[in-house]
A and B are shown apart, each in its own frame.
Chain A
Amino acid sequence: MSTTALAEVPADPRDRGGPAQPLLLVENLRKYFVLRGGVLNRAVATVQAVDDISFALRKGETLGIVGESGCGKSTTARLLMRLIEPDQGRIILDGEAVGAADGIGVGELRRAMQMVFQDSYASLNPRLPIEASIAFGPRARGVPAQVARDRARDLLSKVGLEPDRYIRRYPHELSGGQRQRVNIARALALEPRLVILDEAVSALDKSVEAQVLNLLADLKAELGLTYLFISHDLNVVHWISDRVLVMYLGKIVEIGPVERIYGEPKHPYTRALLSAMPSMDPDRRTEVPSIVGDPPNPINPPSGCRFHPRCPHAEPICDRTAPSLAAGGDTAKGDHAIDWDRHAVACHMHVPGSGHSAAPVGGA
């Protein structure tokens, strides 16, 4: 039984593992940043930016990642792209481990996986006309110059920019929305299977944001893409995602199909996040903030459940033990038995026999 049935993904010659094999499996990914200071430049603190997270990405789906600043969502994206080296963890792309002896290298990973960043200007070379920017990746991988240029023209018209008008322009001659279209075209130039969109529409005005979101939906359908969509905007994530992953201080606190996350959120943090969305109805304004205080500093995060200092339901167990996402499902290793409809939450209130007074009775 599938509530997240996807439109049929066109057969892809690059497909190795078959339709049931996740496009991406992330296992126990971890990155701690060490802060140095003092006269001897010794390690003084550790930022647990991404702490032991595991999830899977289904072929053809859009997985939304939400969370507040410092939750590790952008670090996760950079770890997946290997823009930062993980301390620990495995990334398996369509059945092949990245960096393993029998697997694929980082170069091949980046051919299959591309990224679009929030700052459309900073991510383009200001001295290259956009044609050269788009053709750069294919050229670097040995595509003949003429073929790369033709592909750049094709991609520009795919993202809605008239090639003859725009191909010779420089980034500063374009508006923010147009630049983000160029960044999308460039990400697609290597014909990736997975595109990571890290706050890709967050800097755009609403009317332009809607244009770019429609474009992303069209490109996904046309090219059979899979998206990892990172955003702090819950409305946009709701609109675009098939499944949603919620992060808090480097941990996954909840993951599930989009309608389950928005309709019946289980984690107190997810609930707080959703009810913090400004009301669009002047007769139903928010009266009481859902949680108080700022998100804690990811340096030396709280013990146990990292949300417990802000949680209205916290009990002693929450301070002592970190809850884990219930076993099975997305953490299944290697085999193909992933339950894509699983709605998992890392909260003692939902673990039978956890010792929290609101937990279901043990042995269920």
Chain B
Amino acid sequence: MTPLVSVEGLTVGFTAREGIVQAVNGVDFTLERGAVMAILGESGSGKSVTLRALMRLLPPARTRIGGRVTIAGHDVLTLDQAALSAIRGPVVSMIFQEPMLAFDPVFTIGQQIGEAVIRHEGIGAKAARQRAFDLFDRVQIPLPARRLDAYPHELSGGMRQRAMIALALACRPALLLADEPTTALDATVQIQILLLLRDLQRELGMAVIFVTHDMGVATEIADSIAVMYAGRIVEQGAVRDVLRRPLHPYTRGLLNSTVQGSSRGQRLETIPGSPPGLIALPSGCSFAPRCRHAMAACLTAAPRAVEATPGHVARCVLVEPAGAAMISIGGSAEGVAGS
């Protein structure tokens, strides 16, 4: 069976005054139907840009997208505008960090959900309102009838986030893209939204790609994690594998520098320095300048993806098969560069 999502060699560059900002530099992954993947990364790692590229939500005039994205058989990067808006909703849909920006402030929430359903399924206004009502009930919005007639600014932050989820699910998408939807929420509301998304995902059999910078949130929601750094996925695998046996030095650094109660009173481990500028990326491994294990081979070519154990992939010379690692330690950079 072909996977629901397949991304090959995705690159995204933005033209800026100073040059081209290379935000995504060759991202590959596949996602099966009904699976949940988290993309974990810090600001500027390219995680949100990757997500937006899957739906082509980036400004076309100053964006250059390369590679291939297939979602449910649609070659997304080659679709014309009409075909693109036809798949946005029933095939793939997205929720954002700031629901206030996702809604139109001058229409009621009920009207906006109704519009999406009528547009894609051609049903009548009455049936559309019923669908919106059912959705509000499903996302646990109290007094759904009253809230459907509310304008976005009349709802609290948690309610707006639920309403946006209802809007995104209105046309029963096969794939839901979530861009930090819980980051702006309070802790007690965040966990409610995460549990709600998990329930809906199971019930509807949706695939979800969930972008976050929070390791705990990724752990709560995802089956697998992809860690991004400077526009590349540097490590990918099942949640358990990535959390318990991280392979890439960046993932390890990120896990160690995440403050946990148990580390009280101890110095926090940090990753020195800061992420590279995306206009002139180093030719080799982008993490090498901050990596304590960096060696000559790291600077010559970007490490290839190596599957260390089944399903657990990392881009680092340290996980290259022993032979290659030996060569690189010996200083023969060509051995690795050519592989």
Query: Roughly how many angstroms separate A333 CA and B257 CA in the complex, as a whole number?
Result: 42
Q: Is A262 an interface residue (CB 8 A)?
A: yes
Residues of B near A277 (CB, < 8 A) are 187, 216
Asked whether, in the complex, the Cβ of A68 is within 8 Å of the Cβ of B254, the reply is: no
- Which one of A97-105, A204-212, A341-349 contacts B? A204-212
Which residues in window 157-207 of A have CB below 8 A to B? Answer: 175-177, 205-207
List CB contacts (< 8 Å) of A227-259 with chain B: 232-236, 238-239, 258
Give chain B nearest CB distance to A273 CB in angstroms.
Answer: 6
A17 to B272, CA, bound (A): 42
**Cβ contact of A285, chosen from B186, B219, B270, B274, cutoff 8 A:** B219
A290: chain B residues at CB < 8 Å are 188, 191
Contacts A207-B254, A213-B259; A282 near B264 (Cβ below 8 A): no
Q: Contact: A175 with B243, CB < 8 Å?
A: no
Distance in Å: Cβ of B231 to nearest Cβ of chain A: 16
B89 at interface by CB-CB < 8 Å: no
A233–B183 Cα distance when bound, in Å, is 12
Q: Does B30 contact A (CB under 8 A)?
A: no
Please tell me which stretch of A51-59, A122-130, A138-146, A291-299 contacts chain B, meaning at least 4 of its Cβ atoms lie within 8 angstroms of it.
A291-299
A175 in contact with B188 given A236-B259, A279-B219 (CB within 8 Å)? no
Interface residues of B in 269-319 (CB under 8 A from A): 269-271, 274
Partner of A278, one of B216, B265, B269: B216
A358 interface contact, C-beta 8 A: no
B189 touches A (CB below 8 Å): yes
A273 touches B42 (CB 8 A): no
A69 touching B186, Cβ below 8 Å? yes
Cβ of A289 under 8 Å from chain B: yes
A211 to chain B, nearest CB (A): 5
**Taking the complex as formed, is A335 at the interface, i.e. its CB lies under 8 A from any CB of chain B?**
no
Among A208, A214, A234, contact of B274 (Cβ-Cβ < 8 Å) = A208
Q: Which residues of A contact B243 (CB under 8 A)?
A: 280-282
Within 8 Å by CB of A276, from B42, B188, B258, lies B188
Is A47 an interface position by the 8 A CB rule? no
CB-contact partner of A234 in B187, B194, B214, under 8 A: B187
Q: How far is the CA of A71 from the CA of B39 in the complex (A)?
A: 32
- Please indicate the chain A residues that have their CB under 8 angstroms from the CB of B189 in the complex: 68, 294-295
Which of A69, A206, A239 has most B Cβ within 10 Å?
A206
CA gap between A239 and B43 in the complex, in Å? 23
Q: How far is the CB of B44 from chain A (nearest CB, A)?
A: 9
Residue pair B219, A238 in contact (C-beta under 8 Å): no
**B residues 206-221 touching A (CB-CB < 8 Å):** 213-217, 219-220
Given A69-B186, A206-B258, A282 and B195 contact (CB-CB distance below 8 Å):
no
Q: Is B86 an interface residue (CB 8 A)?
A: no
Tell me if A34 is interfacial: C-beta within 8 Å of chain B.
no
- Chain B 241-274 against A: per-residue CB contact (8 Å), 1 yes, 0 no? 0010000000001100111110111011111001
Complex Cα distance, B192 from A68, in Å, reads 14
> A289 with B188: in contact, given A214-B267, A277-B216 (CB under 8 Å)?
yes
B12 CB to closest chain A CB, in angstroms? 20
How close is B270's CB to chain A, nearest CB, in angstroms? 4
Bound: A287/B189 CA distance, A: 14
The number of chain A residues touching the other chain, given as a range, is 35 or more
Q: CB distance A238 to B254 under 8 Å?
A: no
B229 CB → nearest A CB, Å: 10
- Using Cβ atoms and an 8 Å threshold, which residues of chain A touch B274? 175, 177, 208
| Stretch from B77-85, B90-98, B153-161 forming part of the interface with A | B153-161
Which chain B positions have C-beta within 8 A of A205? 42-43, 213
The answer to whether B239 has its CB under 8 Å from any CB of chain A is yes
Is residue A286 contacting chain B, with contact meaning CB distance below 8 A? yes
Provided the pairs A232-B187, A290-B188 are in contact, do residues A213 and B219 lie with their beta carbons within 8 angstroms? no
A residues near B217, Cβ cutoff 8 Å:
278
B215 surroundings in chain A (CB, below 8 A): 206, 280
- Cα A258 to Cα B264 in complex, Å, equals 10
Contact B213 A278 (CB under 8 A): no
Are the CB atoms of A239 and B195 closer together than 8 Å? no
Whether the Cβ atoms of B191 and A235 lie closer than 8 Å is no
B64 within 8 A of A: no
- Are B268 and A213 touching (Cβ within 8 A)? yes
Interface residues of B in 170-227 (CB under 8 A from A): 186-192, 194-195, 213-217, 219-220
- How far apart are the CA atoms of A150 and B246 in the complex, in Å? 45
B240 touches A68 (CB 8 A): no
Q: Is A217 an interface residue (CB 8 A)?
A: yes
Is B264 touching A286 in the complex (CB atoms < 8 A)? Answer: no
**Cβ of A206 and Cβ of B254 under 8 Å apart?**
yes
Query: Given A214-B270, A278-B220, A286 and B187 touching (CB < 8 A)?
Result: no
Contact call A294/B216, Cβ cutoff below 8 A: no
1/0 per residue, CB under 8 A from B, across A16-47: the answer is 00000000000000000000000000000000
Residue of A nearest to B239 (CB): A282
Closest B residue to A178 by CB, please name it. Answer: B274
Q: In the complex, which of the residues B187, B213, B217 has the most CB atoms of chain A within 10 Å of its own CB atom?
A: B187
A74 vs chain B, min Cβ distance (A): 14
Q: Which residues of A are found within 8 Å of B254, using beta-carbon distances? A: 206-207
Q: Can you list 13 A-B pairs with a CB-CB distance of less than 8 A?
A: A176-B43, A205-B43, A206-B213, A206-B215, A206-B257, A210-B269, A210-B270, A238-B264, A276-B187, A279-B216, A280-B260, A289-B188, A294-B186
Binding site for B on A (CB under 8 A): 68-69, 175-177, 205-211, 213-214, 217, 232-236, 238-239, 258, 262, 272-273, 276-283, 285-295, 297
Closest 6 CB pairs of A and B: A278-B216, A210-B257, A68-B186, A205-B42, A210-B268, A207-B271
